[in-house]
Structures are given as C-alpha cells and as structure tokens.
Structure 1
Amino acid sequence: TLIELLIVIVVLGILAAVVVFSLGGVTTSSALAACQSDGATYETALAAATAQGTTVANAGPGSSPAATIDQVLGSYIATAPGNSTHYQFAIETGKLYVGKTGLKTAPLTGSTLNTGWAAWNGSSACTGIAS
C-alpha cells in the first residue's frame, strides 16, 4: 500500500543520512594518517642527508632560492609523498615544518614561527593541520 511504501522511503532516507554523517570523519582521519606518514618519510630523508654531511637547503613556500622539498630531498626519497589538499611540508634552517596547504610564507621569520606552521616533532605535529 501507499503507507508501507512511504515508511520504506523514510527508513531508507534515515539510513542514508546515518551513512553520510558517519563517513564525514573518514577524510579527516585519513588526511591525519597520511600527514604523519609523509612527515616520517621526510624526517628520515632529512636525517639521511644530514648524516651524509649534505647541507640541506631551505625548501617549501617562501624559500629563497625557490625550491620544493622534493627537489631538495629527491635523491633520498624514491617516491615523493604528498597530499597537497590538506597539508604541506617545508625545510628551514635544517629543520622540518608542516603547515596547512596554501601558506605562502616560509615557516620562520627570524626565529619566530609563522602562523599556520608547526615544527615537526613527530606525528603530533599534524594534529590540527591535516584537517
């Protein structure tokens, strides 16, 4: 009957709404996990370069001369990681930084950390950035 059909449609609508809202956090948690993994990869490459006595140039937004982190650490990484829709990495004064995508300034101005950047101190640096 018509009433039974309406009940089925309402139940399906409720189920669809539950699924949509439950999947909303998946994007954030996957971006966080990817940021943590990419940061660990860059950290290992930076440590390898430093251990071999390589002077690592500044890289990332606002670096002078302009260079990407993949160009600077390319010989230490087989496949460059990255998720440009959520976060970005930079190297300044031999240290790794993570920031939100779209930042145009370098991580540091003198010794002051610019807004939107966090010094890489392990996976916790991605919290609040990769979201």
Structure 2
Amino acid sequence: MLEKLRAARGHEDGFTLIELLIVVVILGVLAAVAVFGVQAFNGEGKAAACETDWKSVETANEALYAKTGAYAADTAELKTKNFLKDEPSTTNGYTISIDKATGAVKATGACTH
C-alpha cells in the first residue's frame, strides 16, 4: 500500500525540513563568527581615534602657547580661539583633558596616553 502511494505521488525534488534546518544553523554559526571578528576592528578604531584626537589637541595647545605664552584650560578654549576645528568627541569612551599649568594633554577612558 505504501508503495502504491509513493508511485502515485511520483518523484518529487526538494529539500527536507532537516536539510533546511542544517543550512540555517550553519548560516547562523557563520554570522556569529563574522560579528565577533568585526568587533575586534571596532576596538582598534576607537584606540586610533583617541590617539589622533590626543595628538591634535597636543599640537593645538602647543600652537596656542607659542602664540600667547599660555596653555589652554580645556579643549573648548582651543576651539574658541580657532586652534581646533572641533572638540574631541566624548561618545567614544574616552575624554581628553589639559593641565593648564604644564600644558600636558591626558586621555582617560578607553585609551590612556
């Protein structure tokens, strides 16, 4: 009887549910590997951004000192006096501060310098 039903149905091509589930699981594993691989580059980018911001603030602070004989109190002063185009972003997990007495530029948070 089972053979009569199979013969009546004919030969059907397609994927079984198990085959489709295996493909979905494999794609999920590959996606997870890709996501974790890309996250490593994100941390390197934040560190590079911090280094660049730190160097820009240090250069601007030294230029202000060369012109006026005094260091800036903060990055806002450097921006106000047109030594910086924009203040460093505080949303990247680090902050950059200036010691007015010595002119030392310090980064704290995700990147320390």
TM-score (norm 1): 0.63
Q: CA RMSD in A?
A: 2.0
- What count of residue pairs does the alignment treat as equivalent? 94
Residue 79 (structure 1) shift: 2.5
Aligned position for 1:14 = 29
5+ long unaligned stretches in structure 1 = 60-68, 102-116, 119-124, 126-131
Alignment of 1:80-95 (within 5 A): 80-92=87-99, 93=101, 94-95=103-104
Alignment of 1:1-131 (within 5 A): 1-59=16-74, 69-70=75-76, 72-74=77-79, 75=81, 76-92=83-99, 93=101, 94-100=103-109, 125=113
The answer (yes or no) to whether the contact 1:57–1:91 under 8 Å persists in 2 is yes
Q: Which structure is higher in helix share?
A: 2
Quote the Cα distance in structure 2 between the aligned partners of 1:15 and 1:8: 11
Asked which structure has the greater RCO (Cα within 8 Å, sep 6+), the reply is 1
| Residues 88-109 of structure 1 deviation map (CA, whole Å, 9 limit, x = unaligned) | 01111221111127xxxxxxxx
8 Å CA contact 2:64–2:72 kept in 1: the answer is no
Amino-acid identity (%): 34
Residues in 1 aligned to 2:72 and 2:44: alpha-carbon distance in whole angstroms: 32
Q: CA deviation at 1:49?
A: 0.6
Question: 1:84/1:2 Cα in 2 relative to 1: closer, same or farther (>3 Å)?
Answer: closer
SS state at 1:32 partner: helix
CA–CA separation in structure 2 for the residues paired with 1:29 and 1:23 = 10
Q: Which has more strand, going by share of residues?
A: 1
TM-score between both structures, scaled by the size of structure 2: 0.72
Letter in 1 for 2:84: I
Distance 1:14 1:42, change over 3 A: same
Give the Cα–Cα distance (whole angstroms) in 2 for the partners of residues 78 and 57 of structure 1. 15
Mapped to 2, the partners of 1:81 and 1:88 lie a distance apart of 8
- Aligned AA (2:29): I
